[in-house]
Structure 1
């Protein structure tokens, strides 16, 4: 069995920490050494906060995860991108994580699955010519923004917006949560119309075109997070989030016998 979860945003005031702790205690803890538990990015929210403070506040949850019998994999997101740097600096301390990076490949009952957080899909679907490398650079800096002056961050954004000729880009890409991002698109001879970025991303993620950009192999199924909008459609699934206040939250994807199933944790 594989259980995948994303966008818990531990460290953010809207994170449903108690529900996630209960989920680990009463469900994930039952996984065996043959099973996999995939942390699919934005598990922690380091943006504009001290990384140490976030981890200390959530030490209990982190300890529970590290003590699981299952194989634990960590795929970084844009809000916890700095976990890559921490792992590079202290690789021996991450022996409990079987994998840690930007993507992960696993098999279950001869079915192949590709896991990635999803910010890459967001860039390609909504923010060209903004590049993955530029986005990752800013994500890394925002993970350390508590220790950087606000003026420095503002100047970085001003420069990027000037180069890309995209005013107020930071409000779309970094300031608003994925489910709230919208923009105007224009076509020749047609009035501007509003586009929901999450809808555009989902359309891209469910298409065959995604295979070219992500490097998916033939027959691989895609599982991602990032948008806070859970769904399973054909060979594509989104894990949703554990952010309070959304229409659907505390969701995860469970894979057994090669099949994906979207579930919601409600241990009542």
Structure 2
């Protein structure tokens, strides 16, 4: 395997004790390490945005490359990888900037208040209304319960290139919405999810790229 790419939210650091979380996922990470990929990439998501701070703290000494986005070429095709939270921030007209969304995500990784009360501590929700206020409330919901399909719809538009810093010839590959699909005509793909809120036939999905061709696959135990 030449490249192994993790598209974020591998760990859910939000309102969790980090040590407990790492221990719970130890077996999974051990199996991933056994894949022996030549190159490992970790694209940070909103729920594990903290990984960027860890990478900086330890002077980028991790075995893999950790970043917000990734560009790779294969078989003459160009691919642009992101987690996908960026598109949700754009759609929600997030107050001030994408940077504020990312700051929110980072603070949630540091918070250990499982009741969700921390939301009201770092945000004065009363000052927001309409979409902005609903965004804060919806962040506690699973993707399939907060109109997340609009992110997939936006990913299929031409306008995404300018707003995501993409080049028109690049294929977008993202996660975030937990809805696996490949749209070759629009040059867009979603790797799906490895958690159990999806129907069993859609769980544990991933995308394999060989000679520039994408294929949606499912891991079977």
Q: TM-score, normalised by structure 2?
A: 0.88
* Aligned residues between the structures: 214
Q: Deviations over 1:59-108 (max 9, x none)?
A: 233234345421110000011100000111113540x10x2111001111
- Unmatched tracts of structure 2, length 5 or more: none
Judge conservation of contact 1:112–1:219 (CA < 8 Å) in 2.
yes
Note if contact 1:50-1:147 (Cα within 8 Å) is conserved in structure 2. Answer: no
Paired position in structure 1 for 2:159: 209
Match of 1:263, SS state, is strand
Match of 1:189 in 2: none
Q: 1:149-168 alignment to 2 at 5 Å?
A: 151-157=117-123, 159-163=124-128, 166-168=132-134
Partner Cα distance (1:81, 1:57) in 2: 19
**1:44 Cα deviation (Å)?**
0.7
Which fold has the larger relative contact order, with Cα–Cα distance below 8 Å and residues 6 or more apart in sequence? 1
**Alpha-carbon distance between aligned partners in 2 of 1:263 and 1:54, rounded to the nearest angstrom:** 27
Distance (whole Å) between structure 2 residues aligned to residue 87 and residue 161 of structure 1: 35
Deviations 1:99-156 (A, max 9, x none): 211100111111110000000011112x104331121111111111117996543222
| Correspondence 1:17-56 to 2 at 5 A | 31=1, 35-56=2-23
Q: Deviations over 1:228-268 (max 9, x none)?
A: 1111012100011011131221101111110111111224x
Residues 1:142 and 1:225: Cα distance change in structure 2 (over 3 Å): same
1:59 aligns with: 26
8 Å CA contact 2:149–2:177 kept in 1: the answer is no
- Structure 1 position 245 matched with structure 2 position 192: no
Corresponding residue of 2:140: 175
The alignment's TM-score, normalised by the length of structure 1, stands at 0.74
| Structure number with bigger Rg | 1
Partner of 1:263: 217
Query: Matched residue of 2:36: which SS?
Result: coil
CA RMSD of aligned residues (A): 2.1
Unaligned stretches of 5+ residues in structure 1: 1-30, 182-196
Q: Deviations over 1:173-204 (max 9, x none)?
A: x11111111xxxxxxxxxxxxxxx32321121
